[in-house]
Amino acid sequence: MPADSKDGSHHDSPGLDRFEMVRRAPSHRLQGAVTDMCGFRETMPGHFRAIEYASLTVPLVISFAEPFAIGLGRDPSDNDRFASFAAGLYAGPVVIESFGGTCCVQINFTPLGARRFFGRPMSELTDRMVGLDDVLGVDGIALRERLGNLPDWSTRFAIVEAFVAHRLATASGTQTEIVWAYETIVSTRGRTRISTLAEKLGWSRKHLTGKFSDAIGTGPKTLSRIVRFNHALGLSRQANSAWADIAAGCGYADQAHLVREFRDLAGVTPTTVAAR
C-alpha cells in the first residue's frame, strides 16, 4: 500500500518486491504542466511486461541503468531499446518490457506543458521515442549525470522539479486559441465537434488541425478520441457499469463503435480491459 513520505512522495511496495516505485505530485510551480513524477527501480532479475493504453501523458524518462524495450501498438523487437527519452502522444497501446535492471526518473507532462517545456513542435515527438540528447541537448545529458549520482529519490525529485520549473518559467506561451480548443475538448470529454471549434475561432478546419498538431502532437479529432476513450475507461471501473450505457454516455454511436475504439486505443476489447 502506498505510504506518504515527509516530502509528499508515495512509496509503492509490490507484493513480490520486483520493483521500487516512488511517486511525487508536482508543486504549484509545475501545476498544469506536470501531472506527477515517478522514480522506478527494478530489484530482481526477470522479464516483465506491461501495456499502457492511449493517454494524454507525454513522458520524459531519464534512465541510470538498463533500457526498456518499447513497442508502439505491437510487441517490441530486439532493436526497440530505449533508455533516456521523451515520447509524444500515441493513439494506441504501448507495450513495455524490462529485464530486471532498470532504474529511472519519469516526469509526466500534460500536452500543453510538454509544448512549453520542450520548446518545439510536439508533432516531432508524436508516435515515437526521441533520445534525451535530441530533445534537451547538453542540458539533458548534464541532468542525467547529476541525477545518477544522487543518493535518494527525494533529492532527485527536487533537482528535477527545479530544472523543469526553470524551463517553464523562461518558455514562450502557447497560442491562446490552441489552449482554448484543447481545454474545450478535455472539459467536454471529447464530445465537441471539430467544425464547431473551428467556427468559433474563425479558422478553417485545416488551419486548426495544423496549429493543433504543432502544439499538441495530434489533430483535435485524434485528441478527442483519446479523451473520450479515457472517460469510458474511467466509467468502466465503476460498479454496475454496463457497456451499452457507457457507450451512450460517452457519445459513441453504439456499443460496436466503443468496441472498435477500445481495440484501436487499448489493443483489446472492453471486456478484456475490465478483466485486467
Short-list 8, 7, 37, 32, CA closest to 168: 32
For 17-29, how does the pLDDT look when each residue is reduced to its tens digit (9 = 90+)? 788 999 999 999 9
83-101 exposure pattern, b = at least 16 Cβ within 10 A, e = fewer = bbbbbbbbbbbbbbbbeee
Strand order of the β-sheet with 94-98 is: 48-52, 94-98, 68-72, 81-82
pLDDT at position 2 is 36
Q: What's the predicted TM-score (pTM) here?
A: 0.91
Q: Are residues 20 and 43 in contact, defined by beta-carbon separation less than 8 angstroms?
A: yes
Asked whether the predicted pLDDT for residue 14 surpasses 60, the reply is no
pLDDT at position 16 is 53
Burial zone of 244 (CB within 10 Å; 0-12 exposed, 13-18 middle, 19+ buried): exposed
Q: What is the DSSP letter of 172?
A: P
Stretch 205-221: mean pLDDT, rounded?
Answer: 96
**CA 14 – CA 12 distance, rounded (Å):** 6
For 159-195, how does the pLDDT look when each residue is reduced to its tens digit (9 = 90+)? 999 999 999 999 998 999 999 999 999 999 999 999 9
**CA 154 – CA 173 distance, rounded (Å):** 30
Stretch 230-244: mean pLDDT, rounded?
Answer: 89
For 47-61, how does the pLDDT look when each residue is reduced to its tens digit (9 = 90+)? 999 999 999 999 999
Asked whether the predicted pLDDT for residue 238 surpasses 90, the reply is no
